[in-house]
Structure 1
Amino acid sequence: MIAIRRARLADAPGIAAVHVATWRSAYADILPEAVLTKLSEPRLTHYYEHGIRLGLAVHVAATYGRNGEPPVLGFCSASRSRESRLGDGEIETLYMLDDYQNRGLGGQLLRNAARHLWQIGCRSVYAWVLRENPSRYFYQRLGGKCIAEGTTIVGGETFAQSAYAWDPIETLLDVNA
Structure 2
Amino acid sequence: MICIRRARPTDAAAIGAVHVATWRTAYAGVLPDAYLSNLSVLRHAAGYEAAISDRRQGHAVFVAVAKGADAPPGATEEGGTVIGFVSGGRSRRPAFGQGEVETLYLLDDYRDRGVGRRLMRAMAAHLAAIGCRSAMLWVLKDNPTRWFYQRLGGRPVAREAIRFAGQGMEQIAFSWDPIEALLLATAPASEA
The TM-score range, normalised by the shorter chain, is over 0.9
Residue 161 (structure 2) aligns with? 151
Deviates more, 1:14-23 or 1:47-56: 47-56
**Share of identical aligned residues, percent?**
51
TM-score of the superposed pair, with normalisation by structure 1: 0.96
2:108 aligned with 1:98, yes or no? yes
How many correspondences in the alignment? 177
Name stretches of at least 5 consecutive residues in structure 2 with no aligned partner. 68-74
Residue 41 (structure 2) aligns with? 41
Residue 63 (structure 2) aligns with? 60
Shift of 1:154: 1.3
In 2, Cα distance between equivalents of 1:172 and 1:124: 9
Name stretches of at least 5 consecutive residues in structure 1 with no aligned partner. none
Q: Deviations over 1:100-121 (max 9, x none)?
A: 0010100110111011011001
Matches within 5 A, 1:13-28: 13-28=13-28
Shift of 1:66: 4.8
Amino acid corresponding to residue 29 of structure 1 in structure 2: G
Shift of 1:63: 2.0
Q: 1:149–1:163: 8 Å Cα contact kept in structure 2?
A: yes
Amino acid corresponding to residue 29 of structure 2 in structure 1: D
In 2, Cα distance between equivalents of 1:159 and 1:67: 38
RMSD: 1.3
Q: 1:58–1:78: 8 Å Cα contact kept in structure 2?
A: yes
TM-score of the superposed pair, with normalisation by structure 2: 0.88
Q: 1:9–1:53: 8 Å Cα contact kept in structure 2?
A: yes
